[in-house]
Amino acid sequence: QQQVKQSPQSLIVQKGGISIINCAYENTAFDYFPWYQQFPGKGPALLIAIRPDVSEKKEGRFTISFNKSAKQFSLHIMDSQPGDSATYFCAATLNAGNNRKLIWGLGTSLAVNP
């Protein structure tokens, strides 16, 4: 019940296209849903995040869509660029009092062809 299932495992998109990565969860106690971006040789970096009281959040070309009833959230990258080629991780945070637990998806390797 504490899993976050991420799909697809890998994705190839043409430059200018839309990249879509999906995540699903079961535990309704999750209250924060971040996406992290990781380039080769680097650690993950927070890209964008959303809370379940909002259905969509947009930052530049990156948008999170959140469907609370379906317990799903997705990352959309508009006008995808070769520089977006990276591994993307979704995650969900479970807060228990003063203790935070972050549950990670397994990642999606995105390649944007020029």
The β-bridge relationship of strands 10-14 and 108-113 is: parallel
Q: How far apart are CA 103 and CA 95, in angstroms?
A: 11
Q: Between the CA atoms of 66, 62, 4 and 29, what dihedral angle is there, to the nearest 10 degrees? A: -40
Work out which of 25, 35, 66, 89 binds another protein, going by CB under 8 A: 89
Q: Is residue 43 part of the contact set for another protein (CB under 8 A)?
A: yes
Work out which of 34, 35, 63, 86 binds another protein, going by CB under 8 A: 34
Residue closer to another protein (CB basis): 13 or 105? 105
Q: How far apart are CA 25 and CA 5, in angstroms?
A: 6
Longest dimension (CA), the chain: 47
Return the residues of window 47-86 that contact another protein according to CB under 8 A: 49
Q: Is residue 98 part of the contact set for another protein (CB under 8 A)?
A: yes
State the minimum distance, in angstroms, from the CB of residue 15 to another protein: 26
Q: How far apart are CA 18 and CA 4, in angstroms?
A: 23
State the minimum distance, in angstroms, from the CB of residue 52 to another protein: 13
Contact residues for another protein, defined by CB under 8 A: 32, 34, 36, 41-46, 49, 89, 93, 97-102, 104-107
